[in-house]
């Protein structure tokens, strides 16, 4: 290649200046030329709508092809460039999803929705909402869900509106608003049943069970989980069957059925691996890690939690990055490994703040308060415990509030404020009488007894 065919810029600023000196129409023509050359290298323009599971050679370059098509179409619009835009924006979105770049996928699906007619727009908006929720981006999910609802209402299609209402329920679920989630799911079921959309209705039953579980309406939640499981098995929806089994396992754990919980978690994990469901594989491993830690198998617990965190980071599951980071912080706290605990707490607080995950944020604050207490930073712990408890109560988290209250009581014992500690423990006892004792509460009680013995006082009842 000689100097008439290639140019090398000594500095990027010179390159950019030369680019900006080109007239917009000239730049657009150059981008269209580049697009044509690249397409020729990849065997021609791929189909606008890719067949499921079949990928084109251009797909890994779809983001770059979108850039060239976008600039060319802006200044030299044509049917051919409009088709290129629809084709490569869709493929860039799919490629981003496959690579777990969910923020990029969200932006591409939004762009694609603006390029296509209402039937296709509905699916693109739904995909955008799913990406936002899977990435734990609460604000973006709110916007995407609202756009989806508006588009679905315009179609006057019962199945489409039911699916959109389900997505709104999912948004409320991720936003720690289970009451609103149940309202949306109930409305979604009405529309889906009228449309005969059994598969979608089965998924709504699974999600409504999660909302009932969050509200600690355990009997209703268990019935809803079993209803969903029967539907998924009849319809052959193996992937969602695994998800539902994993969630039912958490309910059984809350009800004290440790053996049933472990059996269902392992069954769910096998299905996740069978179906390639990495996101829920990470969730199942995290649940197993938390359970192992609660029941004393500490080394195995740490390994499971680290495996779970690695998967959540891999698939950009920020909601559970925060949750599992907090669990790892708790694990290190119990081992008096304070530097490691602080590292994971920092990650959990940053991610939960970014995504609006109030539950993880509240528990991270409580853990940081415990860290301060254990390292003698009494004033800092005094400030954080009430904040954590207030957040838990505001979200209706009875159990999480109970654990925060007990941790605050242990902190008061360490600070030699015995009367305050006794009252805090009594308040926690009142909650237990009202709602029942959690299955793993013995570990919390043991911690209180150790603190009392270290302070030279008789352990509380």
Residues 6+ apart with CB under 8 A from 146: none
Closest CA to 232 of 275, 173, 183, 283: 275
**Under a CB-based contact definition with an 8 Å cutoff, are residues 206 and 246 in contact?**
no
**The pair of three-digit structure tokens given for residue 171, joined into one six-digit string:** 């948004």
Q: What is the pLDDT of residues 29-56, one digit of tens each?
A: 888 888 888 888 888 888 888 766 677 8
As a whole-number percent, the residues of the chain with pLDDT over 70 amount to 93
Mean pLDDT of the 230-243 span: 96
State residue 146's pLDDT score. Answer: 95
Q: Which residues of 313-339 are buried (b: 16+ CB within 10 A; e: fewer)?
A: bebbbbbbbbbbbbbbbbbbbeeeeee
pLDDT at 1 over 70: no
Closest CA to 143 of 109, 188, 182, 192: 109
Q: Quickly state the pLDDT bin for 161 (edges 50, 70, 90).
A: very high
Residues 6+ apart with CB under 8 A from 298: 292, 331, 334, 335
**Under a CB-based contact definition with an 8 Å cutoff, are residues 316 and 99 in contact?**
no
DSSP secondary structure string for all residues of 394-410: HTT-HHHHHHHHHHHHH
Question: Residue 225, Cβ neighbours under 10 Å: how many?
Answer: 26
Among 1-5, 8-12, 382-386, which range has the highest average pLDDT?
Answer: 382-386
Mean pLDDT of the 143-167 span: 93
- Report the chain's mean pLDDT, rounded to a whole number: 88
Q: What is the pTM of this model?
A: 0.72
Q: What is the pLDDT of residues 83-115, one digit of tens each?
A: 999 999 999 999 888 887 888 999 999 999 999
């Amino acid at each position: 290649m000689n100097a008439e065919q290639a140019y090398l810029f000594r500095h990027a600023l010179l390159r950019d200046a030369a680019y900006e000196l080109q007239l917009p129409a000239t730049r657009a023509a150059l981008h269209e030329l580049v697009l044509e050359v690249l397409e020729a290298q990849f065997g021609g323009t791929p189909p606008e709508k890719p067949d499921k599971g079949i990928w084109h050679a251009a797909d890994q370059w779809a983001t770059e092809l979108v850039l060239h098509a976008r600039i060319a179409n802006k200044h030299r619009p044509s049917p051919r460039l409009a088709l290129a835009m629809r084709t490569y924006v869709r493929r860039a979105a799919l490629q981003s999803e496959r690579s777990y770049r969910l923020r990029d996928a969200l932006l591409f699906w939004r762009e694609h929705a603006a390029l296509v007619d209402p039937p296709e727009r509905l699916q693109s908006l739904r995909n955008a909402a799913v990406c936002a929720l899977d990435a734990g981006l609460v604000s973006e999910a709110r916007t995407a869900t609202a756009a989806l609802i508006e588009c679905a209402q315009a179609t006057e299609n019962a199945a489409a509106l039911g699916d959109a209402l389900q997505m709104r329920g999912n948004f409320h679920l991720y936003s720690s608003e289970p009451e609103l989630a149940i309202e949306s799911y109930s409305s979604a079921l009405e529309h889906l049943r009228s449309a005969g959309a059994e598969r979608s209705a089965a998924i709504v039953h699974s999600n409504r069970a999660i909302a009932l579980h969050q509200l600690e309406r355990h009997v209703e939640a268990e019935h809803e989980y079993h209803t969903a499981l029967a539907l998924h098995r009849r319809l052959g929806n193996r992937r969602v069957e695994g998800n539902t089994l994993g969630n039912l396992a958490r309910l059984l754990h809350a009800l004290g059925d440790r053996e049933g919980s472990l059996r269902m978690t392992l069954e769910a994990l096998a299905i996740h691996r069978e179906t390639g469901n990495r996101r829920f594989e990470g969730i199942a491993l995290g649940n197993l890690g938390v359970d192992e830690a609660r029941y004393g198998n500490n080394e195995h617990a740490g390994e499971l939690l680290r495996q779970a965190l690695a998967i959540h980071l891999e698939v950009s599951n920020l909601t559970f990055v925060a949750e599992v980071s907090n669990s790892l912080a708790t694990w290190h706290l119990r081992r008096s490994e304070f530097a490691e605990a602080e590292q994971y707490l920092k990650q959990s607080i940053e991610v939960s703040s970014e995504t609006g995950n109030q539950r993880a944020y509240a528990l991270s604050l409580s853990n940081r308060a415990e860290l301060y207490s254990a390292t003698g930073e009494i004033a800092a712990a005094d400030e954080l415990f009430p904040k954590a408890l207030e957040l838990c109560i505001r979200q209706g988290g009875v159990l999480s509030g109970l654990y925060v209250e007990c941790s605050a009581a242990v902190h008061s014992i360490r600070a030699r404020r015995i009367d305050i500690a006794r009252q805090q423990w009594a308040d926690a006892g009142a909650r237990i009488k009202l709602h029942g004792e959690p299955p793993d509460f013995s570990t919390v009680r043991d911690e209180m007894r150790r603190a009392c013995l270290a302070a030279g006082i008789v352990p509380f009842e």
